[in-house]
Amino acid sequence: MTQSQAKRTKSILYYLNLAMTAVFCLPPLLFATFRDMYGISYTLLGTLVLINFCTQLGVDLLFSFFSTHFDLHKTVKLMPLVTTAGLIVYALVPLFFPQYAVWGLVVGTVIFSVAAGLDEVLVSPTVAALPSDTPEKDMSTLHSLYGYGFVGVVVVSTLFLEFVGREWWMYLTLFWAALPVLASILLMTAKLPEMNIEQNQTTAQKPKGRRKALTLCVACIFLGACAENTMANWISVYAEKALRMPKVWGDLLGMALFAAALALSRTFYAKFGKNIHKTLTFGMVGSAVLYIVVALSKGPMLSLVACVAVGISASMLWPGSLIFMEENIPSVGVAAYALMAAGGDLGSSIAPQAFGMIVDKIAVTNWAQAVGTTVSLDAEQVAFKVGLLLVAIFPLAGYFLLRYMKAYFRKLNI
């Protein structure tokens, strides 16, 4: 592969990551709309997140064990079209069959989540397989584009919902469904690199040590995903329902700034970052502290600022775990990336779903009502704060895991 071919392919893959952003961040923007239009509970909204990431998890595990049975190049090229199909179902079933709106959201979520799982499993190793003098920066840049796409989706979608109207959310979804089509067309004309399916057996020394090392990296990305994606999925609803902000300002000052912080922090690491272990440690500690601040803060602005700041602290927890794996476990293949994606998706499904269930359960208790009366909050606001306080457990556990990993990898020396 020539340098110009590699550069073109890398640019297309970067665009693909941008085009896929709507799959991850559009649904949370619509949660309040779904609750108002279709009467969907917080638990069911959390279940949509669970379905999203569990489907991705299933794809990750499928590739972990059966990756040799797939044509990787064809899968990468067709993946964006699956995304488009899922978003079309997501939009059109509620439009034409509002009585089956929930089922349309579920089926559409399953379809585009398959594509999202393929994206996580295949795009990172494809970029890693391209010839490059700065592979670590390429990986960080790839994931930073998710953040910039996140900002774009939030701003465009928020302005659309505010000025065109929430009831027309279906047409907004169809707009985002069109973008992956271009990515598929571009990929059809691109030269993709050959990728290792499994690890290189000639360098697979100390196999038991490698298995444990990979397991630790999977646990790290799991806890990091819990910290990042709970806030990413609920900041919009939290700003509107708990902080009592108008949706347009809650999304622009909350969700959009969270995404911007995520993107800019990853870009900063791509240009200046060096020590990924220290970066991951800072991210875990910072996220735990910020979740506690959000939960205990009495002022809405301080709470919102802390929500946005989670975008900084959690920014490198997912891509940083991949970089840490690449630096410490040589010759990993697509199967290892699939396992890492599985760990991230598991965290992205469990934590947001648990948060939604906690809010629903606590909001109807006498205890929440009593506490709310004492601190001048209603029961739903108290429930949100308790849920966020409990989420801090995940990055806190991540800090202790990283301390163990540092000692383990130094001793293993693989």
Residue 365: DSSP 8-state: S
Q: State the pLDDT at residue 197.
A: 55
Q: Are 358 and 386 in contact (CB under 8 A)?
A: yes
Region 348-374 average pLDDT: 90
Q: What is the pLDDT of residues 252-297, one digit of tens each?
A: 888 888 989 988 998 898 888 788 999 999 999 999 999 999 999 9
List Cα–Cα distances, 349 to 92, 232, 346, 362, in angstroms: 25, 12, 5, 20
Residue 36 pLDDT > 60: yes
CA–CA distance, 222 with 350 (Å, rounded to integer): 10
CA–CA distance, 199 with 60 (Å, rounded to integer): 16
What percentage of residues in the chain have a pLDDT greater than 70?
A: 95
Residue 165: DSSP 8-state: -
Region 329-350 average pLDDT: 83
Q: State the pLDDT at residue 200.
A: 46
- Burial of 41: CB neighbours in 10 Å, binned 0-12, 13-18, 19+: middle
Residue 187 pLDDT > 60: yes
CB-based contacts of 242, cutoff 8 Å, min separation 6: 380, 381, 384, 385
- Model confidence at 414, pLDDT cuts 50, 70, 90, reads low
Residue 54 pLDDT > 90: no
CB-based contacts of 2, cutoff 8 Å, min separation 6: none
List Cα–Cα distances, 321 to 179, 215, 260, in angstroms: 29, 12, 20
Residue 328 pLDDT > 50: yes
Q: State the pLDDT at residue 299.
A: 85
Residue 141 pLDDT > 70: yes
Check residues 206 and 138 and name the one with the higher pLDDT.
Answer: 138
Handedness of CA 178, 183, 185, 188 (dihedral sign): negative
What kind of fold does domain 3-183+206-412 have according to CATH?
Growth Hormone; Chain: A; (1.20.1250)
Q: State the pLDDT at residue 164.
A: 93
Q: What is the pLDDT of residues 60-112, one digit of tens each?
A: 788 777 666 778 889 889 999 999 999 999 999 988 988 888 899 999 999 99
Residue 207 pLDDT > 70: no
- Model confidence at 202, pLDDT cuts 50, 70, 90, reads very low
Q: State the pLDDT at residue 203.
A: 43
Region 340-354 average pLDDT: 86
- Burial of 92: CB neighbours in 10 Å, binned 0-12, 13-18, 19+: middle
Region 37-48 average pLDDT: 81
Q: Which residues of 230-241 are buried (b: 16+ CB within 10 A; e: fewer)?
A: bbbbbbbbbbbb
- Model confidence at 33, pLDDT cuts 50, 70, 90, reads confident
Q: State the pLDDT at residue 393.
A: 96
Residue 178 pLDDT > 90: yes
Task: Provide DSSP, 315-331.
Answer: TTHHHHHHHHHHHHSTT
What percentage of residues in the chain have a pLDDT greater than 90?
A: 40
Q: State the pLDDT at residue 413.
A: 65
Q: Are 28 and 105 in contact (CB under 8 A)?
A: no
Q: SS3 sequence, 47-80?
A: HHHHHHHHHHHHHHHHHHHHHHHCCHHHHHHHHH
pTM score, two decimals? 0.76
Q: State the pLDDT at residue 147.
A: 81
- Model confidence at 201, pLDDT cuts 50, 70, 90, reads very low
Residue 303 pLDDT > 80: yes
Q: State the pLDDT at residue 242.
A: 80
